[in-house]
């Protein structure tokens, strides 16, 4: 009853207005390549200092929810994930848009984000203290294996050859080591250049590797980059709901995975969406259609990445350990407002905490009308804008977005260089996702690996350190399974084919 009365505090006109504004601002910022959810929250934190603690937290939560969802727009419409957690959305979202189903993909992404967000919020409300304990059982070695699991998943999921995926992921990991070492402080692979001392900025690399190849191919041909339907079809909500109903298990499973992964600090939405995408593909009857515009792929990734919003707040609020980078910014705002994280947030400060959780719930619900409305216009804008305007507009966003991260022209040059390298590699069958994920997960993997190495040296057994824990062994087993599952599946299909059922010959496992 107390929870209900606290939650009703979020329903004041002021708080509702702030949630609406926050979601809309978050969607727009998240949709622009280069402006991540972290940046959206960080930039708008000072705006909330003059507000009451409840209103401030509701607005920040709404911005975060909107930004994570907004990242799917650019992933679907221009093959550039607005935020790293939308990487896997490009796999099926962009092929859908290319064949003229971009409007449906945006609607699916909205529906999935709402379901995922609600599951995350529900977990935050009911299971927070219990789930937070799970996060504490992960040590550096477990984080190392988790990062490797993410990379094996993306290598195996990449269209074409798994070995190319591994080479790409390795290249991304090597790029992440450029600059000053996370442990030890060595200066590595800078070749004497001052510019490379600060390392390769992840978001610049993400923009370069995804956006520049799209631009290079856009100017090369006169045809429109997305197929345009001849008759207006609106937001295709009924069709979207039908797909969501068919994929209801996929939605719930992905949202649960998203919540589960988000409670592990640092793992974030990119791993969550990849794991759920992999699970959706594994469980599907027509797994070969994934990566070619399967609506279930969009549902899986978007449900997972929005579930990370609520899930990420679990360790943030209960343990004071931010689950994701935007959580770290919100944690800072919490401290400024005079909070102390920990169990007392659910007792002494219960009124504010439950109002905040209710605010997140409302913000997630607001995603539905706002997302469908903004999505419709975003899609119309992208398909009706002539190429002579679309190319400079996207180019403008890439340059200003990259520059804004560290106010550095060098980052723009690095972004362009990586873009050209990414285009060349893409042409030869190396997809950008493993490279980008390698770059994102590199520091987590290295820190875990080096700390594990030091602990192994101190304890006298590297093997026990890296292969001794049950969590590590489980993640290793999952990683091995993710690599060999396509081979096993292809073999089984081959056997069926030999028995005269269907054609299994595919290069998925090569």
Q: Which stretches of the chain bind another protein, using CB under 8 A?
A: 43, 160-161, 163-164, 166-167, 170-171, 173-174, 177, 181, 183-186, 188-189, 212, 215-222, 386-393, 395-397, 399-400, 403-404, 407, 409, 412-413, 416, 420, 425, 427-430, 445-446, 449-450, 453-454, 505, 507, 510
Q: How far is the CB of 90 from another protein (least distance, A)?
A: 18
Among positive and negative, which fits the CA dihedral 461, 465, 470, 474?
A: negative
Please say which residue, 185 or 500, places its beta carbon nearer to another protein.
185
Q: How far is the CB of 171 from another protein (least distance, A)?
A: 7
Please say which residue, 52 or 509, places its beta carbon nearer to another protein.
509
Please say which residue, 372 or 418, places its beta carbon nearer to another protein.
418
Q: How far is the CB of 1 from another protein (least distance, A)?
A: 43
Q: How far is the CB of 140 from another protein (least distance, A)?
A: 12
Please say which residue, 213 or 310, places its beta carbon nearer to another protein.
213
Q: How far is the CB of 300 from another protein (least distance, A)?
A: 26
Tokens representing 386?
């002539």
Please say which residue, 132 or 415, places its beta carbon nearer to another protein.
415
Q: How far is the CB of 367 from another protein (least distance, A)?
A: 22
Please say which residue, 186 or 286, places its beta carbon nearer to another protein.
186
The DSSP secondary-structure symbol of 188 reads E
Q: Are 59 and 74 in contact (CB under 8 A)?
A: no
HEC per residue, 101-127: CHHHHHHHHHHHHHHHHHHHHHHHHHH
For residue 179, which phi and psi values (nearest 5 degrees)? Answer: 105, -150
Please say which residue, 234 or 392, places its beta carbon nearer to another protein.
392
Residue 300 Cα distances to 40, 252, 283, 314, angstroms: 24, 9, 11, 22
Pick the closest to residue 269 from 27, 38, 24, 21 (CA basis): 38
CA dihedral (403, 407, 412, 415) in degrees, to 10, reads: -80
Q: Are 43 and 330 in contact (CB under 8 A)?
A: no
Q: How far is the CB of 149 from another protein (least distance, A)?
A: 15
Q: How far apart are CA 277 and CA 99, in angstroms?
A: 21
Q: What is the DSSP string of 147-181?
A: HHHHHHHHHHHSSS-HHHHHHHHHHHHHHHTSEE-
How many CB atoms neighbour CB 21 within 10 A?
A: 16
Q: How far is the CB of 254 from another protein (least distance, A)?
A: 29
Q: Are 303 and 273 in contact (CB under 8 A)?
A: no
Q: How far is the CB of 77 from another protein (least distance, A)?
A: 17
Please say which residue, 12 or 190, places its beta carbon nearer to another protein.
190
Please say which residue, 57 or 212, places its beta carbon nearer to another protein.
212
Please say which residue, 344 or 507, places its beta carbon nearer to another protein.
507
Q: Are 195 and 411 in contact (CB under 8 A)?
A: no
Q: How far is the CB of 400 from another protein (least distance, A)?
A: 6
Residue 183: partners with Cβ closer than 8 Å, 6 or more residues away: 446, 447, 450, 451
Please say which residue, 108 or 445, places its beta carbon nearer to another protein.
445
How many CB atoms neighbour CB 10 within 10 A?
A: 25
Q: How far is the CB of 87 from another protein (least distance, A)?
A: 20
Please say which residue, 122 or 416, places its beta carbon nearer to another protein.
416
Q: How far is the CB of 221 from another protein (least distance, A)?
A: 5
- 3-state helix vs strand vs coil in the chain, percent to 5: 75, 0, 20
Residue 256, H or E segment: helix 248-262
Q: What is the DSSP string of 205-223?
A: HHHHHHHHHHHHHHHH-SS
Among positive and negative, which fits the CA dihedral 119, 67, 278, 438?
A: negative
């Amino acid at each position: 009853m107390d929870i209900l009365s606290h939650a009703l505090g979020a329903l004041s006109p002021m708080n509702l207005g702030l949630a609406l504004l926050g979601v809309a601002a978050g969607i727009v910022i998240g949709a622009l390549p280069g402006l991540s959810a972290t940046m959206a929250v960080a930039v708008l934190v000072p705006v909330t200092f003059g507000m009451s603690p409840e209103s401030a937290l509701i607005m920040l939560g709404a911005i975060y929810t909107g930004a994570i969802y907004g990242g799917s727009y650019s992933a679907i419409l221009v093959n550039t994930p607005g935020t790293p957690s939308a990487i896997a959305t490009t796999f099926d979202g962009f092929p859908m848009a290319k064949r003229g189903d971009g409007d449906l993909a945006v609607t699916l992404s909205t529906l999935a984000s709402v379901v995922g967000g609600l599951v995350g919020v529900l977990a935050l409300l009911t299971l927070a203290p219990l789930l937070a304990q799970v996060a504490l059982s992960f040590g550096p070695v477990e984080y190392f294996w988790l990062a490797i699991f993410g990379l094996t998943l993306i290598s195996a999921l990449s269209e074409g050859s798994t070995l190319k995926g591994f080479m790409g992921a390795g290249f991304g990991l090597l790029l992440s080591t450029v600059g000053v070492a996370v442990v030890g402080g060595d200066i590595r692979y800078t070749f004497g250049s001052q510019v490379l001392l600060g390392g390769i900025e992840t978001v610049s690399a993400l923009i370069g590797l995804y956006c520049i190849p799209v631009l290079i191919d856009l100017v090369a041909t006169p045809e429109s980059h997305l197929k345009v339907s001849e008759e207006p079809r609106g937001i295709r909500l009924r069709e979207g709901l039908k797909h969501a109903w068919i994929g209801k298990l996929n939605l719930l499973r992905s949202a649960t995975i998203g919540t589960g992964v988000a409670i592990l600090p640092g793992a974030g939405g990119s791993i969550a969406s990849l794991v759920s995408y992999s699970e959706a593909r594994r469980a599907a009857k027509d797994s070969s259609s994934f990566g070619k515009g399967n609506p279930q792929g969009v549902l899986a990734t978007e449900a997972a990445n929005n579930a990370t919003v609520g899930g990420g707040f679990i360790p943030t609020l209960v343990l004071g350990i931010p689950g994701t980078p935007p959580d770290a910014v919100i944690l800072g705002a919490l401290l400024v407002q005079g909070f102390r994280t920990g169990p007392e947030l659910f007792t002494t400060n219960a009124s504010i905490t439950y109002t905040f959780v209710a605010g997140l719930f409302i913000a997630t619900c607001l995603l539905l009308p706002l997302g469908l409305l903004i999505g419709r216009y975003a899609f119309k804008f992208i398909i009706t804008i002539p190429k002579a305007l679309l190319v400079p507009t996207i180019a403008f966003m890439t340059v200003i977005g990259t520059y804004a991260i560290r106010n550095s022209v060098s980052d723009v040059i690095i972004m362009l260089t990586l873009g050209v390298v990414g285009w060349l590699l893409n042409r030869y069958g190396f997809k950008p996702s493993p490279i980008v994920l390698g770059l994102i997960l590199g520091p987590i993997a290295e820190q875990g690996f080096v700390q594990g190495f030091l602990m192994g040296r101190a304890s006298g057994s590297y093997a026990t350190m890296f292969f001794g824990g049950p969590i590590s062994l489980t993640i290793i087993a999952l990683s091995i399974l993710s690599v060999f599952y396509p081979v096993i599946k292809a073999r089984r299909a081959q056997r069926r084919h030999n028995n005269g059922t269907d054609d299994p010959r595919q290069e998925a496992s090569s």
